[in-house]
Amino acid sequence: MTRIISPLSRRRFLQAAGSAALAGSSLSAPALAAGKVVKIGYVSPKSGPLAAFAEADDFVLAEFRKAVKDGVKIGGNVYQVELVTKDSQSNPNRAAEVTKELITRDNVGLVLVGATPETNNPVATQCEIEQIPCISTVAPWQTNFIARQAKPGDPASWKPFEYTFHYFWGLEDVIGVFTGMWKQVATNKSVGALFPNDGDGNAWGDKVVGFPPVLAKEGFKLTDPGRFQNLTDDFSAQIAAFRGADAEIVTGVVIPPDFTTFWNQAQQKGLKPKVVSVAKALLFPVTVQALGKNGHNISTEVWWTPSHPYKSSLTGISAADLAKGYEQATGKQWTQPIGFVHSLFEVAVDSLKRAADPSDGAAVAKAIGATKLETIVGPVAFGAANVPPFAAKNIAKTPLVGGQWRLAGDKYSMVITENGAAPQIPLGGAMQALA
C-alpha cells in the first residue's frame, strides 16, 4: 500500500479500496447476491443542441459502473446495480417518452437526470405521475419547482412534490454572485442586460424575482432593451441602447452563438464595457476558446471546478482527481457537468442504501428527502433553511461562486474571483476589469 504515491494511482487505489469494501460485504451473502437487482434509469441529451451537457456521461457512467460492479449493500442484502440510459435527443417530448419507457418497460426503481430544464422537467413530471422517485440537477431550482407547478404564476397554489427531488443553486444565488463580482470593479454601475425570450431570460428579467429589484436596491441602473429570440443574428439595437446608457457592465443569460454575435458586434461598434458577466454561454471551455482572445476576463457563474474542496462519497475521489481523470480519459478540458453528473449517482446510492426496501418507490422517495450527504459538488441536504419553506421538501441548494476565464498562453482557465456566499471554496484571484 505504501508504494502508491502518485495522485493517479491514489485515485485507482481509492477505487480499488471502494470495490474491495463492497466485494467484502458481498462475500458474506453470495447466495442472495445473485437475484437482487436495483435498476437506475438515467436520461440525458446525448444528441441535439443540448448534447454538450451529456458530453461527460460516458466517462462518469463508466466510473460509476466500475464503482458498483460488485453490488451495493442495502438493508443486509447485496443488490446488483443495473444502469439503463436513454437519450432525450434534446427534445422535451422525447425526454418524457423515454422516461415512460424506463418506468414501464425497463421497470427502473429510480430515475436520474441532470441537463437543463428542457430535459429535467418532462422527466420529473413523468416520474411524479408514475410514482417513481426522481433526482434531478443542473438547472436553477426555480425552473424545476415553480415551472412544474399547475399554476406557476400563483404562489398560493404551489404544492410540494412527493417523488421528485432537485438540487442546484437558485436565481437569488446567481444574482448575488454577479453583483458581488461587479462591486469589485470600479464602474458607473450602469448595467446593460441581454435577456432572451426563453425560460431563463424571462426569469432573470422578472420584475419580482429577477435582477431588476435587487439591482435597484444595490444602486445599479439597469438597461433592459427587451426580450429577443434565441439565435438572433444582429444585436445593433441592444448595442445602441447600451451605448446610450453608457453601460460599463453587460450581463445576460444567452446561448453561445448569440453571445459571440453580440460580442463581435459590440467590439466592431465600439462598445467597451469594463465587466461582462454572462451565464449559459460560457459554461464550457470550448465555447470560451471559440472566442479567441476576446474571451479573456469574461466572467460567469461557477457551480463546480476541480478546485472545489470536496470529494466523492461514492469513491472518495477528489474534485481535482475526477477532473484530471476525465482529461486523461478523453483528452478534453474538464467541464462543470462532470461533478454534478457524478454527484447524482452519489445521492442515488446513498438514498438507496438508506431506503428500507429499494424496490418500494415511496420508501426510496422518503430516503431521498432525508438526504444529508457531503458530495463532490458540496453538501446536499433537503429540508434546509437556505431554501424558502414552500420548496424545502424537494429542493436542496449547492454552493455557487463566480469566476473569470483567463487566457494563459493559448488556453483558457477558470479563476474563481467571488465566493461571498460560499467562502469554503477558495478564491483564485481578484476580479480584473476588461482591457
Partner 1 sequence: MAVIDTLVQGALLGGVYALFALGLSLIFGVMRLVNLAHGDFIVLAAFIVLVGATSFGLSLPVATLIAVVAMFCLGFALQRLVLEAVLGEDIMPPLLITFGLSIVIQNGLLLGFGADSRRLDAGAFETRSLEVVQGLNVGLAPLLALIVAIAVILLLQLLFYRTALGRAFRATSDNPEIAQLMGIDHRNIYAVAVGISLAVSVIAAVAFGIRANFDPAIGPARLLYAFEAVIIGGLGSLWGTLAGGMVLGIAQTVGARIDPEWQILAGHLAFLLVLFLQPRGLFPARRA
Pick from 17, 62, 129, 231: which binds partner 1 (CB under 8 A)?
231
Using DSSP's 3-state secondary structure scheme, residue 339 falls into helix
Question: Scanning the structure block, which residue is given the C-alpha cell 470593479?
Answer: 185
Pick from 232, 297, 336, 404: which binds partner 1 (CB under 8 A)?
232
CB of 84 to partner 1, least distance (A): 22
Q: State the binding string over 184-223 for partner 1 (x if CB under 8 A, else -).
A: -------------x--------------------------
Pick from 234, 329, 411, 423: which binds partner 1 (CB under 8 A)?
234
- Residues numbered 245 to 264 that lie near partner 1 (CB under 8 A) are 256-258, 260-261, 264
Of 52-60, 106-114, 299-307, 425-433, which segment contacts partner 1 by CB under 8 A? 52-60
CB of 194 to partner 1, least distance (A): 9
CB of 335 to partner 1, least distance (A): 9
Q: Give me Rg for the CA atoms of the chain.
A: 22
CB of 70 to partner 1, least distance (A): 32
Does residue 367 contact residue 401 with C-beta atoms inside 8 Å?
no
Pick from 33, 54, 355, 416: which binds partner 1 (CB under 8 A)?
54
CB of 289 to partner 1, least distance (A): 8
Pick from 245, 286, 427, 434: which binds partner 1 (CB under 8 A)?
286
Q: Which amino acid is at 64?
A: F
Query: How many beta carbons lie within 10 A of that of residue 131, not counting itself?
Result: 12
For residue 66, what is its C-alpha cell? 466500475
CB of 31 to partner 1, least distance (A): 44
Does residue 299 contact residue 181 with C-beta atoms inside 8 Å?
yes
Bridge partners, 191 (sequence order): 222, 249
CB of 204 to partner 1, least distance (A): 15
Does 85 bind partner 1 (CB under 8 A)? Our answer is no
Burial 265-289 (b: 16+ CB within 10 A, else e): bbeeeebebbbbbbbbbbbbbebbe
Pick from 67, 68, 72, 291: which binds partner 1 (CB under 8 A)?
291
Burial 86-124 (b: 16+ CB within 10 A, else e): bbbbbbbebbbbbbbbbbeeeebbbbbbbbbbbbbbbbb
Does 336 bind partner 1 (CB under 8 A)? Our answer is no
Q: 243 or 324, CB closer to partner 1?
A: 243
Distance separating alpha carbons of residues 356 and 363, to the nearest angstrom: 6
Does 284 bind partner 1 (CB under 8 A)? Our answer is yes
Burial 43-78 (b: 16+ CB within 10 A, else e): bbbbeeebbbbbbbbebbbebbeebbebbbbbeebb
Show the beta-strand stretches assigned E in 11-133: 37-44, 72-74, 77-87, 110-113
Size of the site for partner 1 (CB under 8 A): 42
Q: Length of the chain, please?
A: 435
Applying CB under 8 A, the residues found at the interface with partner 1 are 47-52, 54-55, 90, 197, 225-229, 231-234, 236-238, 240, 256-258, 260-261, 264-265, 267-270, 284, 286-287, 290-294
